[in-house]
Chain A
Amino acid sequence: MDIRLSGVSHSYDDFEVLRDISLEIPSGRIVCIVGPSGCGKSTLLRFIGGLEQPTQGKVLQIGTPPQDCLNPLTYIFQDFALLPWRSVRGNISLVLEDHGIRGARADAIIQDVLTRTKLSDFAKALPKQLSGGMKQRVAIARALAVNPAVMLMDEPLSALDSQTRELLMDDLISLWSRTPFTAVYVTHNLAEAVRLGHSIVVMSRRPGEIREVVHLDKPLDQRQYGDADLEEQQKYLWQLMREEARAADAELVHV
């Protein structure tokens, strides 16, 4: 299933946030969206998943999601959004219960996603017992459980320290390498973008417009921490964004 954005614009009253965004998200690819803070990239992600509606333009699904897909558009949030009163298991079963999946069927799915995220030993743990990286892996496992057509990832690694971030990036790459998934990955971290993105959408400061789309052909599993070519790409992206970021930083916060 592909996603197509056509002419998406958005404003809050007189305050223009996004201007005329058109974008294609092809199946089985990871599209990273980068841009200075306040450029509307997270808002864009909420449009894609239907949590908010743009004032103009359309978000379209092309093709039908696979049969066993419970929740085609599935988010992974920056703050993990785990229910603190439910165990790891309970947090995953939460999203299955409403589909009538209980008992053995649920157990099988939970077992599978926990294995894939290397959490099998922590099924009974409560979120408060887990480190930030583990929490985000639980959130990823929860997203995998509904077998999404598109994963919508909103700065998923921003709340983690840099070592954990590296580990999780490796995890995401190995997950994708085993079964490629479609993802929109919003981040302000260019290193993440060059590691995970098949294409990188660079946005301008507010009102957000697409400045350039950079394509990276190097297969994900061959990208490493500190690769020279990736460093080059990152430098290039930074050049594109530098002035925008400076101007965005000098803006007054609009509340």
Chain B
Amino acid sequence: MSDPKMSDPNHQSSSPAPRQVTFRGGGFAPASHRWIGVAVFAILFALAELGTRQGWISPLTLPLPSDVLGTFGELYASGLLWAHLSVSLTRLLVGAALGASLGIAVGVMIGLFSYVRAGLVPLTAALFPIPKIALLPLFVIWFGIDEGSKYALIAFGTFTPTVVATYGAVDNVDRSLIRMGQSFNLSWFSIVRKIVLPGAMPGILSGLRISLAIAIILLVAAEMLGAEYGIGAYILEAGSLYDLERLFAGVAILSLLGVAVSSVIGIVERRLLDWR
């Protein structure tokens, strides 16, 4: 450091005292604070409990959280929880499996064949915005009032978003990998099975996340018609009886179901996509 200016005392005296450079690179970096989420829930519950007990929240507006918990306990003890949950899970499983597997198949076809794409993309775009609930009466005529119409509604609801997510994912598969496959003379079937499908898997799975959330939403709609048991039927019944405790207990079960489905997909993603 032989810079003459640095050692020049005259120069030094005329410049202001050295100052630390201010740090301005903070924020915009997401960090994990899991406990805050739990705390928000806890505070909301505590507020609701306090408010309803003190009376500044009327019992018409919100049920006591502890009563909801009690209702849930009764539901569990009576064995009805399982009666409702088992039929709902079956409907969800069968409907979503039908819709998602059909959706993936059609989405892959659209991604691979330009004729299929030309034919089916407009059709999918036309089907996507239809509120599936509006078609429920029609499904009852087509598939019967029992399980058929419920499977169909959930399947139809999961089908379109899965198709869109799948062909988008297939489109996004790295073309250079496909070209590599061709350059090694891999058969068409091998390229689809070993390159296109695994390459599209991240997109398909994130599409499934949305599709399955839609399936849970549609579960309530599906159980509007002719369902004696099921979480959706339980919620609708509670609504018509203006039984807020049961309503909230049912809604909480749906939320938990959503969290469960989301974490199952998370596990599948971690197992299938550990290469990312």
Whether, in the assembled complex, A127 has its beta carbon less than 8 Å from a beta carbon of chain B, the answer is yes
Closest to B178 in A: A81
Whether, in the assembled complex, B115 has its beta carbon less than 8 Å from a beta carbon of chain A, the answer is no
Whether, in the assembled complex, B210 has its beta carbon less than 8 Å from a beta carbon of chain A, the answer is no
- Count residues on chain B whose CB falls below 8 Å from chain A CBs: 20
Closest to B202 in A: A85
Assess whether B179 is in contact with A85, with CB atoms less than 8 Å apart: no
- Which residues in B have their C-beta under 8 angstroms from that of A128? 275-276
Contact pick for A98, options B176, B177, B187, B274, CB 8 Å: B187
Whether, in the assembled complex, B105 has its beta carbon less than 8 Å from a beta carbon of chain A, the answer is no
Assess whether B185 is in contact with A98, with CB atoms less than 8 Å apart: yes
Assess whether B180 is in contact with A98, with CB atoms less than 8 Å apart: no
Assess whether B179 is in contact with A83, with CB atoms less than 8 Å apart: no
Chain B, 164-212, CB within 8 A of any chain A CB: 176-177, 179-180, 182-187, 190, 194-195, 198-199, 201
Whether, in the assembled complex, A203 has its beta carbon less than 8 Å from a beta carbon of chain B, the answer is no
Assess whether A84 is in contact with B276, with CB atoms less than 8 Å apart: yes
Chain B 118-157 interface mask (CB, 8 Å, partner A; 1/0):
0000000000000000000000000000000000000000
Asked whether A51 and B179 contact (CB < 8 A) given A85-B198, A94-B194, A95-B184, the answer is: yes
- Which residues in A have their C-beta under 8 angstroms from that of B185? 71, 98
Measured CA separation A73–B187 after assembly (Å)? 16
Closest to A91 in B: B180
Assess whether A126 is in contact with B186, with CB atoms less than 8 Å apart: no
A103 shortest CB reach to chain B, Å = 18
Assess whether A85 is in contact with B275, with CB atoms less than 8 Å apart: yes
- Which residues in B have their C-beta under 8 angstroms from that of A51? 179, 182-183
Closest to A94 in B: B194
Is the contact region of chain A dominated by helix, strand, or loop, or is it mixed? loop
Chain B 237-272 interface mask (CB, 8 Å, partner A; 1/0):
000000000000000000000000000000000000
Asked whether A74 and B184 contact (CB < 8 A) given A83-B195, A83-B198, A126-B275, the answer is: yes
Measured CA separation A128–B273 after assembly (Å)? 12
Closest to B182 in A: A51
A204 shortest CB reach to chain B, Å = 27
B58 shortest CB reach to chain A, Å = 56
Contact pick for B180, options A73, A77, A84, A127, CB 8 Å: A77
Assess whether B275 is in contact with A74, with CB atoms less than 8 Å apart: no
Measured CA separation A81–B182 after assembly (Å)? 12
B115 shortest CB reach to chain A, Å = 23
- Which residues in A have their C-beta under 8 angstroms from that of B184? 71, 74, 94-95, 98, 146
B146 shortest CB reach to chain A, Å = 42
Q: Which residues of B pack against A, CB within 8 Å?
A: 176-177, 179-180, 182-187, 190, 194-195, 198-199, 201, 273-276
List 22 contacting pairs A-B, 8 Å CB cutoff, sorted by A.
A51-B179, A71-B183, A71-B184, A71-B185, A73-B183, A75-B183, A77-B179, A77-B180, A79-B176, A81-B177, A81-B179, A83-B177, A83-B198, A83-B199, A84-B276, A85-B201, A94-B184, A95-B186, A98-B185, A98-B186, A98-B187, A126-B274
Besides A83-B194, A128-B276, 10 other A-B contacts (C-beta < 8 A): A51-B179, A75-B180, A77-B179, A81-B179, A81-B180, A83-B177, A94-B186, A95-B186, A126-B274, A127-B275
